[in-house]
């Protein structure tokens, strides 16, 4: 009995330690303005000094004097060594999926990446909090009776002025659901509504025009949540396994999770190319090309890659978006 009580006490202590670690980590994360993990592309291409959150699997640790170095395997299979003088006990000697807040430095494009440890928390705990917040936003279609809002336009401004969306989310969501079901008649009404709620909710959260998301999903899957490509892309937004994991999507066939990952990825590409080009239409085309062929292909081509499928994809999504936005 005494041995069992000791075991229980140790287990409870571990749980409490992780809870304290999570609380401290979330405060540290918020104080540095971090709300999501950096993509593999962002970590591998930035120059300068940044505080970032990375997602990975701690594969082991090496101790030398007062310094402990953790070996972290990232989503693309590459590994990084992250040193700390105050290692959390729950990570030492274990293989754990974790979020790590780090200060990353790179002198130039070809320079070595230096990573300094700031904090860590269990991946499942952080992901569950993010997913709960995202689903809450997607489900919150109408803040108060009669309230009205417009979609944000800080990420994407179309080449010519689109018709403004000033319809309350509670009114536009059923319209989107009906259109989604028209495109894919095999969907149940409740499935179409969940997809529409995700599109509207995450479009507001990430500042991406909902009509652009609709156009992209038609090009990707025709709103088939069970779509699987020959290359392994999954679900509504055709997320690749590694990309889905990097975005925090644990089940790409879940309707809300896939929409969440799709919009999050698209918003990252739009922001990146808008900052790089300073031009709205060009950034849109490059973002769509990166979504389809990957940012590496865009970088190598110095623009939209000359792949026939990618060229057709960009033209189709832009054409659909113009149609939805009243630009044709």
HSE-CB at 18 with a 13 A cutoff on CA atoms is 16
Helices (H) and strands (E) in the chain, counts: 11, 5
CA–CA separation, 52 vs 268, rounded Å? 15
Q: Spell out the long-range contacts of 12-18 with Cβ–Cβ below 8 A and sequence spacing 24 or more.
A: 14/90, 17/88, 17/89, 17/90, 18/90, 18/121, 18/122, 18/125
CA–CA separation, 48 vs 105, rounded Å? 6
Element containing residue 267 per DSSP (H, E): helix 255-277
- Annotated catalytic residues are 220
Please answer whether residues 304 and 286 qualify as being in contact, where contact means their C-beta atoms are separated by less than 8 angstroms: yes
Phi, psi of 272 (to 5 degrees): -60, -50
CA–CA separation, 298 vs 307, rounded Å? 11
Phi, psi of 115 (to 5 degrees): -120, 125
Please answer whether residues 62 and 68 qualify as being in contact, where contact means their C-beta atoms are separated by less than 8 angstroms: yes
């Amino acid at each position: 009995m005494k041995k069992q009580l000791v075991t229980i006490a140790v287990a409870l202590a571990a749980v409490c330690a992780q809870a304290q670690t999570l609380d401290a980590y979330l405060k540290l994360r918020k104080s540095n303005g971090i709300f999501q993990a950096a993509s593999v592309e962002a970590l591998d291409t930035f120059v300068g000094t940044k505080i970032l959150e990375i997602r990975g699997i701690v594969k082991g640790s090496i101790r030398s004097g007062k310094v402990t170095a953790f070996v972290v395997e990232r989503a693309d299979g590459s590994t990084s060594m992250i040193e700390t003088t105050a290692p959390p006990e729950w990570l030492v000697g274990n293989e754990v999926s974790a979020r790590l807040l780090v200060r990353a430095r790179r002198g130039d494009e070809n320079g070595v990446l230096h990573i300094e440890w700031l904090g860590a928390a269990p991946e499942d705990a952080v992901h569950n909090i993010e997913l709960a917040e995202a689903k809450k936003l997607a489900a919150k279609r109408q803040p108060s009776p009669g309230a009205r809002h417009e979609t944000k336009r800080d990420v994407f401004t179309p080449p010519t002025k689109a018709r403004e969306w000033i319809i309350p989310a509670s009114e536009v969501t059923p319209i989107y659901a009906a259109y989604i079901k028209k495109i894919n008649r095999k969907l149940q009404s409740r499935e179409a509504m969940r997809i529409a709620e995700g599109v509207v909710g995450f479009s507001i959260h990430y500042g991406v025009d909902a009509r652009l998301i609709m156009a992209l999903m038609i090009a990707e899957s025709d709103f088939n949540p069970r779509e699987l490509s020959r290359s392994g892309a999954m679900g509504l937004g055709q997320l690749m396994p590694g990309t889905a994991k990097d975005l925090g999507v644990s089940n790409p066939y879940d309707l809300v999770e896939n929409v969440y990952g799709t919009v999050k990825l698209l918003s990252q590409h739009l922001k990146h190319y808008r900052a790089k080009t300073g031009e709205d239409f060009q950034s849109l085309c490059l973002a769509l090309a990166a979504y389809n062929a990957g940012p590496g292909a865009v970088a190598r081509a110095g623009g939209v890659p000359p792949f026939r499928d990618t060229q057709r994809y960009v033209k189709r999504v832009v054409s659909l978006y113009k149609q939805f936005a009243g630009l044709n």
